[in-house]
Structure 1
Amino acid sequence: MNKLKYSQIILLILLAGVLYGQSNGSLAFKKNRPQDKRYTPGLTVDMQYRMAEKFFLIREANAGNPEAQHELGIRYLLGEEFEKDTTLSYYWISRAADAGHISASYNKGIFLMNGWGTKWNPFDAYSEFRNAAYAGMPQAQFIVGIMFTENLIIPRNLDSAYAWVKKADKAGYEPAKDVMQRLIAAGAKDDDAPPGNGKENKGETGSEISARSVLLYINFDPDTTKPVTDSLIAKELLDTYSRLPGSDSAFTNLTSPDSIKLDSTLIIAADYGSPEAMAALGRIYEKGLGTNPDRVMAAIWYLRAYKYESTLGGRLFNEILGSPGLINEIESRVYKNDKNAAYLWALLTFAGANYKIGVEDAKKILTDLAASGYVFALLDLAQYYYTGSYFTRDKEKAAGLLNMAYALGNNEAPVRKASYELRDDFNPKDAALLVSVLDKGIEKGSLIAQTMKGYCYQFGIGVEQSFTGASRLYMEAANRGSKAAFSFLRKMYDSLRPTSPEFLISEE
């Protein structure tokens, strides 16, 4: 029997493509195909052949041929000569993997990682990827390397991560080159990979396949040895929006520091709650890029970016706060009834960076600013009332303040309100409508919306439950700096974590 058509699915969390080799390969039946066009009345010779091929493929799969099982699983997934069925697809690919088929092990890992035709289980997925990695498949080696960076499935070990990615690179896997450099920069040592202890497989070798890498090493501790340049701010903004579904493409022209400019797109993104856009606005006001320099407004935008868990925002805020004369400038402008300065004065007090007034004075300033319609004060006051920070918790008052902010044209307010309602009511009657508010926020770069949509996927609130969808959104938000998203992600993984020491992860 000739070798079955060799199909490969190359994915990293999301499907990146299906590649074929020997597209005209077939079962032995093809060689001896009957030439009599009347073989089956009403059917063409081609239809007769396809029916016979399906019959032989199913027969071989049932007989235990792992190549046939893998091929049948692929065809069920793609709907090629068979009706699409992810459950049957997983069944046959799983049988092939259990029989030692390397590509099937890799693909089984993808099914488990995405919850296709089976329950989502990243730990079982890791075991399958590891088996394929030890058997020499470079794509699997690359993924195992990535998993050693995340501290989610297995403990983070950058040395092991580098060793596995290096193996993939030596095998010619192109995406590994960039990742190797990033791992070295993160502190990995250039050592050989640990000896293999997975299942060996002598019956198949990995093929040449390309895949899209979505690796982003999650590190909440910024590298303070490198200066924050305009180009770095522009790159962070561009990288974020290039990954958001349906997001604005207006930032694709950010190719140099000079391309950062004050425009409506940037303002709208910040207005929806994008920390990257906030940091960019801070730099614009600090340096006077297309507008008059204003250190107070720069500090406000940097601080707001930091409040949204932007590591760059935090560094930039600390830097500008230490600039000569800024505190005196803020105080002077407060006495001139400058609302921006008064807002920053109050927040510096809450942050313990301003001892010239007390917390009660800062609370009054924030309350008065909110009453006057100052949007930033409305948003922060709503958060304080909702969380019970500095003020007695009052969710109704928080909702009212957000309504006021929205009435004044702020777009972050409805995203926050939707998030509060989805968390508090858990599954409100208008959950689907609230989720649509989050979707709009995600398109514009809202980090809160991205994290909350992951929460909705995790618990099936307003959307069909999907641990894969939750994991993807949490991971994307965590890569943007959200510790809250990473905490949700870790808890979701912990709910399935095996007791094996291999998977035990200590708290960071």
Structure 2
Amino acid sequence: MTNKSLTKFLPVFIIFVFFSQQFIYSQDTTSSLAYKKKPQFFRYSMFYRADLSYQLWHQFKLVQKANEGDPIAEHELGLRYLMGEGFVADTTLAAKWIGKAAGKNLTSAEYNYAILLNNGWGVEWNPFKAYDFFQRAALDGMPQAEYILGVTHLNNLVVKKDLLIAYEWLKKSAESGFLPAKEYLIKLEKKISPAILKKERKRASKKSLKSKTFNNYLTGSTTTGLELIDFDLIQDSATKITDKIILGTFLTGTNANLADTLGITEKNDSSLNILKSGLPFLNRSAEAGNPEALTLLGRMYEKGKYFEKNNIKAAAYYLRAARLNYPIAANLLYQLTKDPKLIHKIRDAAKKQEAIPMYIWYGLYVLGMERDIAPKDAFKLLYDAANKKYVPAMVELGLSYYTGNLVKKDKDRAKKMWESATKLGSQEALTRIAATNILEQKYKNIKLDIDILLKSEKMGSILSEVTLGSLYEKGLGVIKDKAKAVMYYRSAAQRGNSFAFNQLRKMYDEIRPAKFRF
């Protein structure tokens, strides 16, 4: 990447990511690193496997039949290469054989090949070609594929968002008993006018019977690379964020391991019951810049669960998550600070030079929730809170200096502030230093900086996810890899990060076919 193009790219990245104010191990012949780094992606629960005797075939017979052009044998051989069953795992060979079977109209192969295409596993990343294969499987009556087509018509990436087409496919999937489709159909029906909904229900009821039957063992938490990105829900300040919604954000993607540590499952009720032994891990994840962890801690302080009830601390945690461009936290902060008594309490404490209230008052100003203060006074609140060694304020002050928000831009002072916060144990500050080192190409040890980002990403740092996406998209410090960039951007977008979604859409637009439906 040229210095000229880097200079053009950096300000946009910094504004939206660093300072947003908006609500299997295998012998792999593919260039994609997703499989190598994320072996947990390849699970039986991800790919559709028909219940056929071919699964019991010996390797020799299976290879023989596949070479003869038997599509079921080709598909089974591809799955065995994918899972490393009897063969050295190889995503490229897996995609080759599954693709052959998909080309012969084998429904399960069409579905599985679409997953590989959509993630760039063993083949070049191509979500549009993936859409074609998902559609073929859906037209065969496969409920999992019908669900994915419904989601695709809501995400506004491959095809233009269309609630009615999405409704039609989700309803077909739901009527086949696919639980994820049933669950989202209820939410979708609330977004469609009653008159149109009545018409659509009547039209959908006339659908023909399916000629094929499929197992419905795949679940909504199954990772296909096509999970729903519902900004309408998470960015609506009128939406009531329940404890169940907060806990549900841990069940897929980046936070799945943390969910296990906390004992969070799909059966969790709305009582915020988690394993108390997991609280230290929750705290570490929060300090790394994990917005879901910060939000859950805020909720615990707001409800007095595991900690003494403290709405000021709750507001501080919500604010920290909101500053990471996490809409759910911004919503909760907005709802919490509508209480005039709490606002009065925050202001009084801030005037007494208490660090956390000063930080909150400043934060409410930059988020546009509080305008009864001058910009210079808002900055002074942040500056004073940072001088009291309140780490979140120190990290935020570094951002102000870096971006020139409310103060003259000074990148050297920004880095020094982050270094001071790092010495006090801030993983988030360390992550920001590593990210800016690479993005500005001023690193001393790029391997060390990337290792820092990878460590933080494993702890749920959304900044690390978006930064890694940018590095792989631009080829900064790593080999350019679109599939891996998409993986990181998609994960961050599914968590509500609008910058990641916009970058993702840009990557889709770059390869969008010149076809009307796309």
TM-score exceeds 0.5: yes
Counterparts of 1:187-202 in structure 2, within 5 Å, are 187=192, 189=197, 190-191=200-201, 192=203
Pick aligned residue for 2:152 from 143, 147, 151? 147
1:216 aligns with 2:234: no
Pick aligned residue for 2:399 from 371, 383, 394? 383
Corresponding residue for 1:247?
258
1:406 aligns with 2:444: no
The one-letter amino acid of 1:452's match is T
Residue 412 of structure 1, CA deviation: 1.4
The separation in 1 between residues aligned to 2:408 and 2:204, in whole angstroms, is 55
The separation in 2 between residues aligned to 1:134 and 1:493, in whole angstroms, is 24
The one-letter amino acid of 1:21's match is D
The separation in 2 between residues aligned to 1:466 and 1:193, in whole angstroms, is 42
Greater CA deviation, 402-411 or 176-185?
176-185
The one-letter amino acid of 2:404's match is G
Equivalent pair of 1:385/1:393 in contact (CA under 8 Å): yes
1:497 aligns with 2:504: no
Corresponding residue for 1:41?
none
Residue 169 of structure 1, CA deviation: 3.1
Residue 76 of structure 1, CA deviation: 5.2
Equivalent pair of 2:302/2:314 in contact (CA under 8 Å): yes
Residue 444 of structure 1, CA deviation: 2.6
- 1:472-508 Cα shifts (integer Å, max 9, x gaps): 33222222211111112111211111121211xxxxx
Equivalent pair of 1:109/1:125 in contact (CA under 8 Å): yes
The one-letter amino acid of 1:477's match is A
Corresponding residue for 2:384?
368
The separation in 1 between residues aligned to 2:116 and 2:279, in whole angstroms, is 43
The separation in 2 between residues aligned to 1:323 and 1:398, in whole angstroms, is 34
Kindly tell me: are residues 89 and 304 of structure 1, through their superposed partners in 2, closer, same or farther at Cα, counting changes over 3 Å? closer
Kindly tell me: are residues 351 and 210 of structure 1, through their superposed partners in 2, closer, same or farther at Cα, counting changes over 3 Å? closer
Residue 146 of structure 1, CA deviation: 1.9
Kindly tell me: are residues 26 and 484 of structure 1, through their superposed partners in 2, closer, same or farther at Cα, counting changes over 3 Å? closer
Counterparts of 1:218-233 in structure 2, within 5 Å, are 218-221=230-233, 222-233=235-246
Residue 81 of structure 1, CA deviation: 7.0
Counterparts of 1:58-77 in structure 2, within 5 Å, are 58=67, 60-61=68-69, 66-67=71-72, 69-70=74-75, 73-74=78-79, 77=82
Kindly tell me: are residues 71 and 386 of structure 1, through their superposed partners in 2, closer, same or farther at Cα, counting changes over 3 Å? same
Residue 113 of structure 1, CA deviation: 1.5
The separation in 1 between residues aligned to 2:452 and 2:463, in whole angstroms, is 11
Query: Which one has more relative contact order, counting CA pairs under 8 Å at least 6 apart?
Result: 2
The separation in 2 between residues aligned to 1:322 and 1:217, in whole angstroms, is 28
Corresponding residue for 2:53?
23
Corresponding residue for 1:10?
none
Corresponding residue for 1:182?
187
The one-letter amino acid of 2:355's match is K
Corresponding residue for 1:306?
322
Greater CA deviation, 344-353 or 396-405?
344-353
The one-letter amino acid of 2:426's match is N
The separation in 1 between residues aligned to 2:95 and 2:261, in whole angstroms, is 41
1:115 aligns with 2:120: yes
Kindly tell me: are residues 502 and 328 of structure 1, through their superposed partners in 2, closer, same or farther at Cα, counting changes over 3 Å? same
What is the number of equivalent residue pairs in this alignment? Answer: 458
Counterparts of 1:78-477 in structure 2, within 5 Å, are 85-187=90-192, 189=197, 190-191=200-201, 192=203, 205=212, 207-208=214-215, 210-214=217-221, 215-221=227-233, 222-233=235-246, 235-236=247-248, 238-239=250-251, 243-244=254-255, 246-247=257-258, 249-252=260-263, 255-257=269-271, 259=273, 263-354=279-370, 357-425=373-441, 430-461=445-476, 465-477=480-492
Kindly tell me: are residues 364 and 294 of structure 1, through their superposed partners in 2, closer, same or farther at Cα, counting changes over 3 Å? same
The separation in 1 between residues aligned to 2:86 and 2:305, in whole angstroms, is 59
Kindly tell me: are residues 400 and 92 of structure 1, through their superposed partners in 2, closer, same or farther at Cα, counting changes over 3 Å? same
- 1:107-160 Cα shifts (integer Å, max 9, x gaps): 332231232332110001101111222233333222212211211101112221
Give secondary structure in 1 for the equivalent of 2:49: strand
Corresponding residue for 2:30?
none
- 1:254-310 Cα shifts (integer Å, max 9, x gaps): 644263789544433322222223233333444444555444333322222222223
The separation in 2 between residues aligned to 1:116 and 1:230, in whole angstroms, is 36
Kindly tell me: are residues 266 and 209 of structure 1, through their superposed partners in 2, closer, same or farther at Cα, counting changes over 3 Å? closer
The one-letter amino acid of 2:433's match is K
Equivalent pair of 1:349/1:362 in contact (CA under 8 Å): yes
The separation in 1 between residues aligned to 2:457 and 2:388, in whole angstroms, is 29
User: Identity rate of aligned residues, in percent?
Assistant: 34
- 1:332-361 Cα shifts (integer Å, max 9, x gaps): 223322222222333344445555542223
Equivalent pair of 1:279/1:302 in contact (CA under 8 Å): yes
Kindly tell me: are residues 117 and 355 of structure 1, through their superposed partners in 2, closer, same or farther at Cα, counting changes over 3 Å? closer
Give secondary structure in 2 for the equivalent of 1:244: helix
Greater CA deviation, 491-500 or 335-344?
335-344
Equivalent pair of 1:138/1:173 in contact (CA under 8 Å): yes
The one-letter amino acid of 1:451's match is V
Equivalent pair of 2:250/2:256 in contact (CA under 8 Å): no
TM-score where L is the length of structure 2: 0.76
Q: Which runs of 5+ in 2 are unaligned?
A: 1-40, 222-226
The one-letter amino acid of 1:23's match is S
Kindly tell me: are residues 274 and 474 of structure 1, through their superposed partners in 2, closer, same or farther at Cα, counting changes over 3 Å? same
- 1:411-468 Cα shifts (integer Å, max 9, x gaps): 2111222222232229x56333323222322333222122223333434555555433
The separation in 2 between residues aligned to 1:453 and 1:294, in whole angstroms, is 35
Corresponding residue for 2:6?
none
Corresponding residue for 1:36?
none
The one-letter amino acid of 1:183's match is L
The separation in 2 between residues aligned to 1:25 and 1:318, in whole angstroms, is 54
Q: Which runs of 5+ in 1 are unaligned?
A: 1-12, 28-45, 197-201, 504-508
Give secondary structure in 2 for the equivalent of 1:211: coil
The one-letter amino acid of 1:491's match is K
TM-score where L is the length of structure 1: 0.77
The separation in 1 between residues aligned to 2:56 and 2:295, in whole angstroms, is 57
Greater CA deviation, 304-313 or 122-131?
304-313
The separation in 2 between residues aligned to 1:289 and 1:51, in whole angstroms, is 59
Equivalent pair of 1:230/1:257 in contact (CA under 8 Å): yes
The one-letter amino acid of 1:259's match is N
The separation in 2 between residues aligned to 1:219 and 1:324, in whole angstroms, is 29
Give secondary structure in 1 for the equivalent of 2:419: helix
Kindly tell me: are residues 186 and 479 of structure 1, through their superposed partners in 2, closer, same or farther at Cα, counting changes over 3 Å? farther
The one-letter amino acid of 2:462's match is L
